[in-house]
């Protein structure tokens, strides 16, 4: 009994403080004080101060290409402030998606290229195209951002925590293009623990003593997480002595905005500063305006490779050979009209050119009097033995003691030399302060029409160039004919027996034609074949495809190789050699367009060419593929050696 009493006393003592505390804090019911209703109409919220930079519409804009074909890590409207600023200055904005057209063709006629947050590396030929673009006067803006790594897989149900906490850096991707252009991005970020914009990674940058249009009106710029950069040129935006990098310890004067030595490439280490609403902080808006103006201020030199963008005014197409208008020129004028329309210009077929218009003169070498002054200015002399007296340019006189050699039909170009007239096409560009004239000449009417096709496609692969003169050879030598003359058939002669003439092969399209064919879905040869193979990459094997065409049609000749990572794709292609032949004639690899893309976690590279104008009869196309060593595509191993894809095409029965 006494033990039970002791336990009761202990329990009371333990509960007493709890009860006392509850009683103290719960003395009666709580009655909240009355709260008056808020009149929301009387509330005035101070708007953030923003003084946008004054915009001046440019007298003449230009085409600006935004490259979005390298898995760019962008959000919706990230590029809107810059695009709006460019549009306000008269720019025409285009997007390169990496599929519809190659980088080279997309940059044709452009004045600037914008590359923002890519995560796929640039291929060797893409880098070459951009470098050629820069050498021709084009300007490039590069932007990367520490907060824009390589995007992880979008399969939310199976995201790897490693991808979330340790994302793959996109620095190798931007450096694949930046390094050849004289710029290096460091895989770091800048921070300032002493003087920052509310966060140690929001660093203030200044222009120092740099005097450049890009720094006009800038006192302080704020970048919100930025890489540090280095270039072979000028540092435009730098941090103060307290601005540091976790990677480049001990260094001061770190730059987040640089210009290349040639002044054609601007690189920035932060994208956020150019996006809304962050572009309204400090002098960021002025920087945005300066960047837009700088991109459009370059003096891009346009040549025939940029056809039709070298023209600036309406274009007249004029036949200079023959008394009668070649009816084929009417059809060609429609095709050229569509091409010239890409430059927002018009083209008309005329008998006489308008001096207030740009012009394309088309004709043969036998009748060049009306364009002789342009040829003289370009240093071009046309010598035709049968009609030498009709050409105004005198021929050289032999010195004493020398025998006068027989005059041959030739084209002499100063600084280039002499070439046979037969089998040759000549293009000459003449520029004046207010006019551009293009002269297109062939040995006969057929060659002149083919020259217009080459001009429309800007396909000058294999041509010799000297300044504004291009000489292209067809490899054929035939008697020249005027545009209004018909080709005479040779007289029939009795022969001991019929002799078969080799059947001409199909025509391979130009690079531009091939790209357009791929974009519109022209069928691949393998799609038209009767055979289907489960495995097509075994050394020593020949994979034959039989194709029957009722008549000639456009087809695509394609070879591709895919791997399960971008790194493996590059490694594999270093050990793959291709040889293409049509009816036993080798086709240069340079005649094939190239495209790279990723699909369903596979990275692929395709070589392809348009094959068209199939003559009746049988044709054989062979793709010879050699693996220099054993290849691993990330899933299977393929032995080294050579295998063949044989396309047997029968046209017209």
Partners of 612 in beta bridges: 507
The whole-angstrom separation of Cα 82 and Cα 102 is 24
- CATH of segment(s) 304-391+408-473: 3.30.379.10
Most confident stretch, 94-98, 101-105, 240-244: 240-244
pLDDT of residue 389: 43
Residues 6+ apart with CB under 8 A from 652: 549, 550, 551, 616, 617
CATH class of 63-150+168-296: alpha beta
Which of 608, 320, 332 is CA-nearest to residue 453? 332
pLDDT of residue 76: 84
Domain ranges of the chain: 63-150+168-296, 304-391+408-473, 507-651
pLDDT of residue 145: 94
Q: Which comes out higher in pLDDT, residue 414 or 159?
A: 414
Q: Per mean pLDDT, which range of 205-209, 274-278, 310-314, 500-504 is the poorest?
A: 500-504
Chain mean pLDDT for the chain: 84
Whether residue 482 has pLDDT greater than 60: no
* 373 φ, ψ (degrees, to nearest 5): -65, -35
pLDDT single digits (tens) 591-620: 898 888 877 778 889 999 999 888 888 999
pLDDT of residue 481: 45
Whether residue 407 has pLDDT greater than 60: no
The rounded percent of the chain whose pLDDT value lies above 90 is 48
Which of 397, 447, 446 is CA-nearest to residue 420? 447
Most confident stretch, 41-45, 129-133, 390-394, 405-409: 129-133
The whole-angstrom separation of Cα 294 and Cα 264 is 9
pLDDT of residue 157: 47
Whether residue 227 has pLDDT greater than 90: yes
Helices 445-457 and 327-340: angle between axes, nearest 10 degrees: 10
């Amino acid at each position: 009994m006494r033990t039970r009493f002791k336990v009761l006393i202990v329990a009371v003592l333990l509960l007493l403080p709890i009860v006392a505390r509850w009683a103290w804090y719960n003395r009666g019911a709580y009655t909240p004080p009355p709260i008056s209703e808020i009149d929301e109409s009387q509330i005035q919220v101070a708007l953030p101060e923003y003084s946008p930079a004054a915009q001046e519409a440019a007298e003449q804009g230009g085409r600006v290409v935004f490259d979005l074909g390298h898995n760019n890590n962008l959000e919706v409207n990230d590029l809107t402030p810059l695009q709006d600023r460019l549009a306000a200055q008269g720019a025409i904005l285009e997007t390169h998606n990496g599929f519809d057209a190659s980088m080279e063709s997309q940059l044709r006629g452009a004045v600037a290229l914008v590359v923002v947050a890519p995560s796929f590396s640039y291929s060797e030929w893409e880098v070459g195209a951009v470098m050629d673009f820069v050498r021709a006067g084009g300007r490039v803006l590069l932007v990367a951002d520490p907060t824009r790594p390589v995007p992880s897989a979008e399969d939310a149900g199976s995201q790897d925590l490693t991808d979330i906490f340790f994302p793959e850096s996109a620095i190798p991707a931007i450096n694949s293009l930046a390094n050849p252009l004289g710029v290096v991005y460091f895989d770091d970020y800048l921070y300032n623990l002493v003087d920052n914009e509310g966060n140690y990674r929001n660093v203030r940058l200044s222009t120092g003593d740099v005097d450049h249009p890009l720094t006009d009106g800038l006192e302080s710029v704020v970048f919100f997480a930025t890489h540090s950069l280095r270039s072979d040129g000028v540092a435009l935006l730098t941090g103060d002595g307290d601005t540091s990098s976790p990677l480049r310890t001990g260094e001061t004067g770190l730059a987040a905005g640089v210009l290349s030595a040639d002044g054609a490439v601007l690189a920035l280490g932060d994208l956020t500063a150019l996006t809304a609403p962050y572009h309204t902080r400090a002098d960021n808006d002025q920087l945005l305006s300066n960047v837009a103006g700088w991109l459009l201020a370059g003096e891009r030199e346009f040549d025939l490779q940029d056809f039709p963008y070298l023209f600036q005014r309406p274009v007249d197409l004029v036949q200079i050979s023959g008394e009668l208008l070649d009816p084929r020129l009417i059809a060609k004028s429609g095709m050229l009209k569509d091409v010239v329309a890409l430059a927002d210009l018009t083209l008309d077929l005329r008998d006489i050119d308008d001096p207030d218009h740009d012009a394309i003169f088309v004709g043969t070498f036998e009748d060049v009097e009306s364009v002789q002054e342009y040829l003289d200015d370009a240093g071009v002399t046309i010598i035709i033995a049968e009609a030498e007296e009709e050409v105004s340019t005198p021929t050289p006189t032999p010195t004493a003691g020398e025998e006068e050699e027989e005059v041959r039909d030739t084209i002499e170009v100063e600084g280039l030399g002499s070439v046979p007239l037969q089998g040759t096409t000549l293009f000459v560009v003449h520029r004046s302060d207010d006019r551009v004239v293009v002269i297109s000449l062939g040995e006969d009417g057929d060659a002149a029409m083919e020259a217009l096709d080459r001009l429309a496609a800007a396909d000058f692969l294999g041509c010799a160039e000297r300044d504004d003169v291009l000489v292209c050879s067809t490899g054929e030598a035939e008697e020249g004919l005027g545009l209004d003359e018909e080709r005479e058939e040779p007289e029939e002669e009795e022969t001991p027996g019929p002799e078969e003439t080799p059947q001409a092969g199909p025509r391979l399209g130009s690079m531009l034609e091939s790209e357009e064919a791929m974009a519109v879905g022209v069928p691949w040869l393998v799609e038209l074949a009767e055979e289907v193979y489960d495995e097509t990459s075994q050394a020593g094997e020949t994979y034959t495809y039989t194709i029957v065409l009722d008549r000639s049609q456009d087809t695509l000749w394609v070879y591709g190789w895919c791997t399960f990572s971008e790194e493996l794709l590059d490694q594999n292609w270093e050990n793959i050699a291709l040889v293409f032949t049509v009816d036993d004639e080798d086709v240069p690899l340079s005649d094939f367009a190239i495209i790279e893309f990723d699909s369903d976690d596979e990275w692929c590279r395709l070589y392809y060419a348009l094959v068209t104008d199939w003559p009746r009869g049988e044709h054989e196309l062979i793709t010879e593929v050699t693996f220099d060593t054993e290849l691993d595509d990330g899933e299977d191993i393929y032995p080294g050696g050579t295998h063949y894809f044989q396309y047997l095409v029968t046209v017209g029965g």
